[in-house]
Structure 1
Amino acid sequence: MYLSTSRLIVIICLLNYVCAGRLLWRSKERVRRARYHKAKQHLLRHALTGHPLESHAKDGVIHQELDHFDSNRKDTFPQRFYVNEKYWEEPDGPIFLFIGGEAPISEVDVLAGHHVDMAEEHGALLVALEHRFYGESMNPGGLETEDLADLSSQQALADLVTFHRYISDRFRLSDKNPWITFGGSYGGSLAAWMRGKFPHLIYGAVASSAPVEAKLDFSTYNKVVGLSLMDEEVGGSAKCVGDVWEAFAAVEAALMGGNETQVGKDFSCCDTPSSLDDQIELLGSLADLIASTVELNDIEGGMSIEELCTLMTNQSEAYEEETEAYDRLINLMDVYREVEDLPCLLSSHEDILEALRNATEAEDGTSERQWYYQMCTEFGFFQTCEDASCPFSRMLTLRSDTELCTELFGIPQDRLPGHIAFTNMYYGGKDPESHRILYVNGQIDPWHEVSVTSNGTWLNRDRAIFIKGASHCADMQEEDKTDSAALRQAREAIESHVAMWLKTAAWEKMMG
């Protein structure tokens, strides 16, 4: 019963993002929710055997400065954190710091996951800090554009420095307690950057699926999506990606041919996608349905690449009659709509803009406005389709994506390249001058294109783990009997690195 409920929740989450338009704006939120429910299932099993782990997670709030770099400002915001002392071998045990990214954190972040398994092995104190302006760590002034000026990765790192001092004081830590940071996706980038910028505070970092290279035109995202749909080892095929391309070509041709009313009916749009902007939103939503399936392929409860390709290549038992690729794409949307009983698909550009302009905290914890602001001011990551390798519509352009920076925040499009260049200069992009950082990526995860996937010089020669057939942040989950051999080997390699770091840290303290 729990498994089926978990599966339903994940699919409903996917549907909710369909309603909102561009799915990939919130793909990291879907990862968090899917893994949250799986981790809760893991904890439930422990509780049934007489081990109620949740009682070991304690939450708290630290009041952080809104601007760490302006001494004249004294205003603060409440930042949420969690602590789990269950495994800590005080007073000299290590500290494992889980860093939240563009989503809320929860008690699960100190109760379950691969880093928690390693904490039990090494007697570590587990702590997790939520990112400013996400989850419950909200700016009291709201999310108006002028208030978002205090939202940046640099301010987030300063929050972590303050939190490091707070935890050190609270638990009477010393230089005998090595800190190791953990994080996934943007949180993984912060884990790596924290080690790189503050090596005197952080001894090592495990950065999973961490996009450390800012990129304005992230066209290679969809290139990897296409390659993954072709990968037979994960259920793809050349026919699958060909049929996807054919389906999008048919949708685009129908829209350009003046048949937008029929297209709107076919995909059950709430309104006819009459304007070019509306049509781009519709095509973007359809593309994101497929791209998010690739990114989250081995997340329990979601649709897999194999299931998607079975439907798109007309091999699904649910649709025995031969159909055109266009109709199969409609069927794919119907799968989601039937589960959620969704009345219609939102494709209105103006309605989506209105939702993104909402400067109040979302009740469901979604964070697309904050993340889009960081995309416009720091990272880019606009997943375009103007490259010939993209299996979707060429109407998904960089201009159509970056126009939102101006419409939402008043940021001119010509300023974005400068923002991206500064981020890469400040952190080092894919060639940072730092060591004792382990970058872990999955082969079919499109985000590996902006992460570190190769080993470097003698100083950091063992810095990258690349997992065949794995998707986004797959290594962060607790071990499961369905895990591939490659994923198991990757976790063993991570464990070896962490163990080596802690032994080296102990030896250095003894010699010092």
Structure 2
Amino acid sequence: MALWGVSVGLMLLSLQSLALASKNFWLIQQRVLQLREERILKEVSRQQQQLSQGPASLKWQPLQMGYIRQPLDHFNKREPITFGQRFWINEQYWQKPGGPVFLYIGGESALSQSSVLSGHHVELAQKYGALLVSLEHRFYGRSINLDGLQDKNLQFLSSQQALSDLVSFHHYVTQKYGLMSNNTWICFGGSYPGSLAAWFRLKFPHLVFAAVSSSAPVRAQLDFTGYNKVVAASLSNPVVGGSKECLAAVVKAFGAVDGLIRSRQLTKVARDFHSCGALEGDEDGFQALSNLADIFMGAVQYNDESVYWGAVDGLCDIMTNHTLGTPYDRLIVANKLFLNVMELPCTDNSYADLLEELRSTVVSGSNDFFRQWIFQTCTEFGYYQTCEDSECPFSQLINLTSSLEICKEVFGISPPSIQDAVSFTNDYYGADHPKASRVLFVNGDIDPWHVLSVLKNQSSSELAILIHGTAHCANMNPSMPGDPASLVQAREQISSQVADWLKLAGKMHQGS
């Protein structure tokens, strides 16, 4: 059942790109989030007007936004510095006083009121009478001090600190509402926050009773060649509008671009693909390749979002259209259409500009996240989506060395240190065998990130759902009339599991 009985647009998830340090993917992500937010707020405004004309019992309950003071370093009690962390609360569906608490966890982008207004977790809150709360991730959105992006402070940006923030927020909400042990907490998250949801249950089982972890890459990996293997498979998958012909055309097109770059014909590449400036050397050429690949990677990861042109079927229509010329010519058309829809005059392929942006410590607004997330990949996760495997449809020039070089250039972090950090993360959380309980891992098989998640039941209480034909965090969107049967069934399974958890919590509370 959707928000107030009506399907509400598309949800502002924490649908992070988790991508390489090239610009197009981040632009795609920003556009996805922006358009989702606009649709949600428009629909919510309409529904508020309906409620104002209805029975008093359905009166709109205003949302609460606030800030909780958090220690900059939870693990050093002598550190006096704090920062304000933003949260949202929605009491609209809460069956006081014993109803459950559904916690939506923010990630590597700004969080908004949509986090407690729309999405499958909101539908579940309405169904089970839950209090909805959400917490923005430290160092993202407005949960950051003006000096927060400086290197000396970024050391406090980590998943361990983020989990401790959730502990403090749990304490805050519990005190604010006088919650008791019978107020069962269930947390929800998608992508990196999906990992945080699983880890919150793993590390703090006395605080959160269960977790729904969607599209969560719980296994950190330095060289993530598997990402583009899934991209290739999706581009050839007829379920989402792909075909073998489409994949073959993409391979040929990128082979042509690769050949031009290797033969130093950078002027032609810059002209054909509307580079904002000349390609000055190898690094700029690699950026041009990465930005072109991002168009296809983004279409696969965010497939069927209906928020911009780049779904798999749309791209494959272009790449298999022989009237447009050679596969290289078709790639030119795809790139031009991407720029038009994104309202961009050109593509910034300057490696120097990229380094300058990543080195900037100026907090410029709620959309700051580029520098922070790259820091987290360098210090915790890796996740570098390379193309060195033979199954990658793009160019082998998109390699691990160039990704690791950014960590060194921007943060002074050496490649061995990154590998050590990735190994620590997996040892600390258990990678894709975390040995938790009451965690439900949900993934779509079109989503490239599913290969780093938990795909099969690990135990009777550590369960997994793999949804055929869906992409990144698709199950977290609100229910829509045109949803595929596999997605509808998955949401029903999630709802049933939440109901089972709540029943079990009630029995355990009665027996205590």
TM-score band, normalised by the shorter chain?
Answer: over 0.9
1:432 to 424, 430, 434: 434
Shift of 1:342: 2.7
Deviation at 1:71, TM superposition (A): 1.2
Q: Helix, strand or coil for the counterpart of 1:262?
A: helix
Residue matched to 2:505: 505
Q: Which residue of 305, 314, 319 maps to 2:312?
A: 305
Alignment of 1:261-280 (within 5 A): 261-280=267-286
Aligned equivalents of 1:370, 1:274: Cα separation in 2: 27
1:49 aligned residue: 50
Structure 2: how far apart are the matches of 1:68 and 1:26?
33
3-state SS in 2 of match to 1:441: strand
2:36·2:307 contact (CA, 8 Å) conserved in 1? no
Q: 123-132 or 328-337: which moved more?
A: 328-337
2: CA distance, partners of 1:79 / 1:47: 27
Corresponding residue SS for 1:128: strand
Q: Name which of 352, 355, 358 aligns with 2:357.
A: 355
CA distance in structure 1 between the partners assigned to 2:252 and 2:94 by the alignment:
56
Is the 8 Å Cα contact of residues 25 and 372 (structure 1) preserved in structure 2?
no
In the TM superposition, what are the counterparts of 1:114-129 in structure 2 within 5 Å?
114-129=120-135
Give the number of aligned pairs. 493
Q: Once the 2 structures are TM-superposed, how far is the Cα of residue 298 of structure 1 from its aligned partner? A: 1.7
1:511 Cα deviation from its structure 2 partner: 1.2
Normalising by structure 2, we get a TM-score of: 0.92
Q: CA separation of 1:242/1:401 partners in 2, compared to 1, >3 Å: closer, same or farther?
A: same
8 Å Cα contact 2:163/2:200 also seen in 1: yes
Checking the alignment, whether the CA contact within 8 Å between 2:109 and 2:368 is kept in structure 1 is: yes
Instruction: Specify the alignment match of 1:139 in structure 2.
Output: 145
CA distance in structure 1 between the aligned counterparts of 2:407 and 2:52, rounded to whole angstroms: 49
Contact 1:29 1:366 in 2 (8 A): no
Helix, strand or coil for the counterpart of 1:92?
A: coil
Q: How does 1:460-471 map to 2 (within 5 A)?
A: 460=462, 463-471=463-471
Q: CA deviation at 1:35?
A: 3.4
What is residue 183 of structure 2 aligned with on the other side?
A: 177
SS at match of 2:65: strand
Deviates more, 1:340-349 or 1:481-490: 340-349
Q: Give matches, 1:432-451, under 5 Å.
A: 432-451=434-453
What is the CA-CA distance between 1:26 and the residue it aligns to?
A: 6.6
Aligned mates of 2:475, 2:47 — CA distance in 1: 21
TM-score by length of 1: 0.92
Unaligned runs of 5+ in 2: 1-8, 54-58
Q: 1:471 to 1:341 in 2, by over 3 A?
A: closer
Aligned residue in 1 for 2:5 = none
Partner in structure 2 of residue 385 of structure 1: 387
Secondary structure of 2:217's counterpart equals coil
1-side partners of 2:28 and 2:422: how far apart? 21
Listed one character per residue, the Cα deviations across residues 370-394 of structure 1 (whole Å, up to 9, x for unaligned) are 0000000000000000000100010
The CA RMSD over aligned residues, in Å, is 2.2
Q: How does 1:321-336 map to 2 (within 5 A)?
A: 321-336=323-338
Alignment of 1:98-497 (within 5 A): 98-302=104-308, 303-314=310-321, 321-363=323-365, 365-460=367-462, 463-497=463-497
Structure 1 counterpart of 2:6: none
1:7-63 Cα shifts (integer Å, max 9, x gaps): 9xx9xxx9xx99x94334576555543433343344244235336997531101100
Q: Is the 8 A contact 1:249 1:393 kept in 2?
A: yes
- Which runs of structure 1 show a deviation greater than 6 angstroms over 4 or more consecutive aligned residues? none
**8 Å Cα contact 1:28/1:185 also seen in 2:** no
Deviates more, 1:216-225 or 1:133-142: 133-142
Give deviations 1:135-163, integer Å, cap 9, x for gaps: 00003423011110010000000000011
The code of the aligned residue for 2:491 comes to R
Aligned partners of 2:397 and 2:344: how far apart in 1?
A: 26
Paired residues of 1:35 and 1:299 also in contact (CA < 8 A): no
Contact map agreement 1:28 1:102 (CA 8 A) in 2: no
| 1:450-503 deviation digits (Å, cap 9, x = unpaired) | 11111123453xx10111100001001111011100000000000000000001
Q: How far apart are the structure 1 equivalents of 2:228 and 2:288? A: 17
Are the counterparts in 2 of residues 183 and 207 from structure 1 also a CA contact under 8 Å? yes
Contact 2:61 2:90 in 1 (8 A): no
CA contact (8 A) 1:439 1:453 kept: yes
- Residue 95 of structure 1 contacts residue 125 of structure 1 at CA under 8 Å; is this kept in 2? yes
Q: Secondary structure at the match of 1:150?
A: coil
CA distance in 2, matches of 1:87, 1:24: 36
Amino acid at match of 2:23: R
Tell whether the 8 Å contact from 2:72 to 2:83 is kept in structure 1 after alignment.
yes
Hey, what's the Cα distance between the residues in 2 that align with 1:48 and 1:294?
37
User: CA 1:441 to 1:34, structure 2 compared with 1: closer, same or farther past 3 Å?
Assistant: farther
Q: CA deviation at 1:274?
A: 3.0
SS at match of 1:50: helix
* Deviation (angstroms), 1:72: 1.1
Distance in 2 between residues matched to 1:469 and 1:334, nearest whole Å: 28
Return closer, same or farther for 1:48/1:313 CA change in 2, 3 Å cut-off: farther
Counterpart residue number, 2:68: 62
Work out the CA distance in 2 between the residues paired with 1:84 and 1:458.
32
Change (3 A) 1:365 1:440: same
The AA in structure 1 aligned to 2:100 is P
Rate the CA distance shift 1:286–1:311 in 2: closer, same or farther, 3 A.
Answer: same
Unaligned runs of at least 5 residues, structure 1 = 1-5, 316-320
Q: Distance in 2 between matches of 1:127 and 1:341?
A: 35
Q: Identity, % of aligned pairs?
A: 45
> 2: distance between equivalents of 1:457 and 1:495?
19
Q: Residues 305 and 277 from structure 1, CA distance in 2 versus in 1: closer, same or farther, beyond 3 angstroms?
A: same
Q: SS at the partner of 2:51?
A: coil
Superposed displacement of residue 322, structure 1: 4.4
Structure 1 residues 26, 160: CA separation in 2 closer, same or farther (over 3 Å shift)? Answer: farther
Q: Which residue of 2 aligns with 1:36?
A: 37
Is the 1:34–1:299 Cα contact (8 Å) retained in structure 2?
no
Structure 2 distance, partners of 1:476, 1:86, is 19
> Is the CA contact 1:29–1:103 (under 8 Å) kept in the aligned structure 2?
no
Q: Which 10-residue stretch deviates more, 321-330 or 469-478?
A: 321-330
SS of the aligned residue for 2:84 comes to strand
Report the secondary structure of 2:151's partner residue. Answer: coil
Aligned-residue offset at 1:343: 2.5
Deviations 1:194-219 (A, max 9, x none): 00000000000001111111000001
